Amino acid sequence: MTALDITGNIAVLGYGLAAIGPGVGVGLIFAAVINGTARQPEAQSKLQSIAWIGFGVTEVLAIIGIALAFVFRS
Amino acid sequence: MIAGVPTEFTPPGPDSFDLPPIIDGVDWFTKPVLVSALTVVVIVWFYWAASRKSAIVPSRLQFAGELGYNFVRNSMARDAIGSAEYMKYVPYLCGLFYFILLNNVAATIPLVQFPTFSHIGWAYVAAIMTWVIYNAVGIKKHGLWGYFKHQTMPPGVPGWLLPLMIPIEFISNILVRPISLSLRLFANMFAGHILLLVFVLGGEYLVFETGNIALAGVGVVTWLMGLAIAGLELFVQCIQAYIFVVLTAQYIGSAIAEDH
């Protein structure tokens, strides 16, 4: 049995770690939207448009992570 | 790759985005250039044809055009900028939205299948235009000093916090906004395209290159997964166009807002 040879770049692992936070954040945003819609169905469209902005702002953290993963690739 | 000879699988990377020029010798004329030019033609034709014979009882085309225009005008521009001054910015927002939308969705259309904005230069230009516009209208409205005060000193902050708040607000409102705006669009398109490449090329490798029937079965499953990812990507492409324009409207709205 030979040792498993893993090649590749550790920056990708860093990106995986960096994506945890935004993942939780995006989940929280949509959990709040679902809650709000369940309590007040007529507010759905308003909540959704706010949620997409929040989603965009939160998601950019993961996006910066993927950009940095490529920057620090070498 | 030569069929029958087991070869190493080379995963797709940033190199996969360097497309050859369409005409030999004309280096700048690549697929994204062609696609973006075509989308401009399509958008101009659509809105020209939709508004050419405007009538009180709209034709189908006019109705579709008004639907598309009203979506940007009402749900993005008016909500974010406010009903007093939003009409000035609707042409920019509308053009920007449909340009980004069509260029993104082109990544799903067969034969095109390349997102223009997966080359970061395109995203930079779109974000810089937005940056120049919201700063310019803010400076025009509040004056240079007043605009910086407006952007960097949130009302109601106690004085001893200002040395901390001013740099943070300056960096986040003036410096980081164009970067995050362009990176978000670019990286979503880039990552989505690379994901599709991994599934499709990986499936191709498993089915045709390995010569192992069990792995070929896995390859077929990989292709099905790639199909599902393509559906997800279509959704992401529309959402990213929406987010880009909604944030643009939001930035313009916050730049020209009155201090409370």
Phi-psi region for residue B115, left (φ > 0), alpha (ψ -120 to 50) or beta? beta
pLDDT at B259: 66
* Interface pTM, i.e. ipTM: 0.75
Name the band, by pLDDT with cuts 50, 70 and 90, for residue B5.
low
- Of residues B75, B188, B190, nearest to A49 (C-beta): B75
pLDDT per residue as tens digits for the range B205-250 = 888 888 888 888 999 999 999 999 999 999 999 999 999 999 999 9
> What is the distance between the alpha carbons of residues B76 and B93, in angstroms, rounded to a whole number?
8
Measured at the CA of B43, the angle between CA B40 and CA B48, to 5 degrees, comes to 120
CA-wise closest residue to A61 among B109, B10, B187: B187
What is the reported pTM?
0.87
pLDDT above 70 for B139: yes
For A45, the closest chain B residue by CA position comes to B75
Give the pLDDT of residue B18.
85
Taking CB atoms and an 8 Å limit, are B79 and A70 in contact across chains?
Answer: no
Quick check: A9 pLDDT over 60? yes
Candidates A9, A26, A61, A66, partner chain B, best to mutate (most B CBs within 10 A): A66
The superfamily CATH assigns to domain A11-71 is F1F0 ATP synthase subunit C (1.20.20.10)
Please give the span between the terminal C-alpha atoms of chain A, in angstroms, as a whole number: 31
The mean per-residue pLDDT over the stretch A24-34 comes to 95
CA distance B22 to chain A (A): 28
Tokens linked to B19 = 């497309």
Predicted pLDDT at B1: 43
Burial of B49 (0-12, 13-18, 19+ CB in 10 A): middle
Residue B58 banded pLDDT, cuts 50, 70, 90: confident
DSSP B29: -
Domain ranges of chain A: 11-71
Inter-chain CB proximity A52 and B184 less than 8 Å: no
Domain boundaries, chain B: 14-256
